[in-house]
Amino acid sequence: MTDATTPTPKRASLLAVDERTRKRNAAEARFKIYGIVAICVGVLSLVVLLAAILSNGIPAFQRTVVQVPVTVTQEQYDAAESTLFKTKEYEGLFVAALSAELTSAGIEADISSGALERLVGKVGNNLRQFYTANEVQLGQEVLFEVPAASRIDRYFKGTLAVENITADNRFIQPQDLDVAEAMKDAGLMATVFDWNFITGVDTGVDNPGGAGIGASVLGSLLMMFVVLFLALPIGVAASIYLEEFAPKNRLTDFIEVNISNLAAVPSIVFGILGLAVFIQYMHLPQSAPLVGGFVLTLMTLPTIIISTRASLKSVPPSIRDAALGVGASKMQAVFHHVLPLAAPGILTGTIIGLAQALGETAPLLLIGMVGFVARYPETFLGGLEGPNSALPAQIYNWVSRSDAVFTEKAWGGIIILLIFLLTMNIIAILLRRRFERRW
């Protein structure tokens, strides 16, 4: 050691921070800021996304209605029923009632049938249906609540481009807006919660305001039913085999590699599988929640298997040893002791898998679940086999139509979808909190 005696260089005082350290500390601060910025970008994206959903979607839950008290006498009813164009007669009755209300409210307005259609659409049939079903109400005053025309609705929601409206527009004219404002002030128009959006079914382009999401929610629920009853037992069975019984050999390895790869296969490929195998080859019905359920089951299985295996693995071997030690068979040890202890974890994983399946759209497009579904199924089995849509597919369907009302409905549909997902995830989190066990 030749340099052993070289004195170490005497350095400056510790108390003074030298130039280089200052620079390094500045770099340190910058680096930290990058991280904070990155997190802010992520969180900001989330905030913007949620804000966009809420601001665009909440109007879908409201609709503007025209509330008019109408009295139809027995004679008027008989007269209307005996004519050829019955709904036209009822429309006349409605116009008369509305005009009377307008006059008493002091609103100057011409409610010819053109203007009426621009304000509330065709109402004759609503009246006729009501009175044919409730003849006892004849002669009494009934408060009719009919949906306002979609453009009036959009006007009150602030999404109508008012400056582009011309006097010869077939759908809306500038004076209609004044009438609508006056009616609102007089209490003849009101904005109410739109239950029809939640319970109703899809409608054609002629009545975008009446479209509801109910039928497709039912379609999604039917699919979730299929997924739950197939994916949970199959997934748990496969996990039990792989985790507890499978010998360590090439076949087991092969199955495991298969599962981890399936977990990463793009969802659209499962759609191709469903189309080719279930529909082309097996001739199962197209657009049916049953087939959708099959496809989503195959897609969800890897998720459920992976989380089930993790919760089986977290049960300590001492439990198995204890059961085997009192003479239980391997199968009894697993089913009596390990499985109940792993159950909360399995359920959590299943719920998360279901949530994934609920939001999945692409494979459903390929097996035709984007059709126009204007009816609720009559029976449970009919619902499984018959054509139906699904919540996300219905949203996609609405977006691809050009009418702005449908776009609003699509955003509203997203709120419902997210409420479902949020509920499922909260249940999963609560389950985990409630039953989490540290060994």
Partner 1 sequence: MYDDTRLTEGDVASMNTKISAKGVDVFYGDNHAIKDVNVEIKDKTVTAFIGPSGCGKSTFLRCINRMNDTIDVCRVTGDIRLDGEDINDKRVDPVQLRARVGMVFQKPNPFPKSIYDNIAYGPRIHGLARNKAELDEIVEKSLRRGAIWDEVKDRLNAPGTGLSGGQQQRLCIARAVATQPEVLLMDEPCSALDPIATGQVEELIDELRQSYSVVIVTHSMQQAARVSQKTAFFHLGNLVEYGDTGDIFTKPEDPRTEAYITGRIG
Partner 2 sequence: MSVAWLLTALVLLSLAGFFIVKGRALASADGDRRSLHSLPNYYGYNAMLLVFVPAFFVMCAWLVLQPILIGASVSSEFSEQNLTEDMNMSLVMSDVRRVADGLDQAIAKGAIGEDEAEEVAADLDGLKTLLSSVGVVLGSDVSDDIVASAQDYRGMAGTWSVIRDVVVLILAVAGFAYAWSRTNASFRARNTVERAVLALLIGAAFIAILTTVGIIYSLIFNTVEFFRLYPASEFFFLLEWAPSFSGRGGSSSLGVLPLLWGTLYISLVALAVAVPVGLLSAIYLSEYASPAVRGIAKPLLEVLAGIPTIVYGLFALLTVGPFLVSFFGDEGYLGVNWMGGGTAVMTAGLVMGIMLIPFVSSLSDDIINAVPQAMRDGSLGIGATQSETIRQVVLPAALPGIVGAILLAASRAIGETMIVVLGAGAAARLSLNPFEAMTTITAKIVSQLTGDSDFASPEALVAFALGMTLFIITLGLNVFALFIVRKYREQYE
Q: How far is the CB of 136 from partner 2 (least distance, A)?
A: 32
Residues 266, 267, 271, 274: is their CA dihedral positive or negative? Answer: positive
Q: How far is the CB of 190 from partner 2 (least distance, A)?
A: 28
Q: How far is the CB of 352 from partner 2 (least distance, A)?
A: 8
Q: Considering only CA atoms, which of 293, 410, 429, 284 is closest in space to residue 360?
A: 293
How does 25-44 read in b/e, with b if 16+ C-beta sit within 10 Å? eeeeeeeeeeeeeeeeeeee
Please tell me what DSSP assigns to residue 378. Answer: S
User: 16 or 84: whose CB is closer to partner 1?
Assistant: 16
Q: Which does 37 bind (CB under 5 to 8 A by kind): partner 1, partner 2, none?
A: partner 2
- Which residue among 45, 207, 314, 423 contacts partner 2 (CB under 8 A)? 45
Query: By CB under 8 A, which span of 11-19, 228-236, 267-275, 425-433 interacts with partner 1?
Result: 11-19
Spatial distance between the Cα atoms of 143 and 59, rounded to a whole number of angstroms:
24
User: 4 or 167: whose CB is closer to partner 1?
Assistant: 4
Q: What angle do CA 56, 57, 61 make, to 5 degrees?
A: 135
Task: Quote the strand ranges of 125-166, DSSP E.
Answer: 141-147
Q: Considering only CA atoms, which of 117, 346, 366 is closest in space to residue 237?
A: 346
Q: Which does 17 bind (CB under 5 to 8 A by kind): partner 2, partner 1, none?
A: partner 1
Kindly identify the residues of this chain, within the stretch 230-289, that bind partner 2 according to CB under 8 A: 233-235, 237-238, 240-242, 245-246, 254-255, 258-262, 264-273, 275-277, 280-283
Q: How far is the CB of 250 from partner 2 (least distance, A)?
A: 13
Interaction between residue 324 and partner 2 (CB under 8 A): no
Spatial distance between the Cα atoms of 208 and 226, rounded to a whole number of angstroms:
31
Interaction between residue 410 and partner 2 (CB under 8 A): yes
User: 27 or 419: whose CB is closer to partner 1?
Assistant: 27
Residues binding partner 2: number (CB under 8 A): 85
Spatial distance between the Cα atoms of 363 and 404, rounded to a whole number of angstroms:
26
Q: Considering only CA atoms, which of 218, 274, 213 is closest in space to residue 396?
A: 213
Interaction between residue 159 and partner 2 (CB under 8 A): no
Interaction between residue 64 and partner 2 (CB under 8 A): no
User: 83 or 329: whose CB is closer to partner 2?
Assistant: 329
Spatial distance between the Cα atoms of 287 and 291, rounded to a whole number of angstroms:
7
Interaction between residue 24 and partner 1 (CB under 8 A): yes
Provide the Cα torsion 316, 320, 326, 330; round to 10°. Answer: 180
Interface with partner 1 by CB under 8 A: which residues? 1, 3-6, 8-9, 11, 13-18, 20-21, 24-25
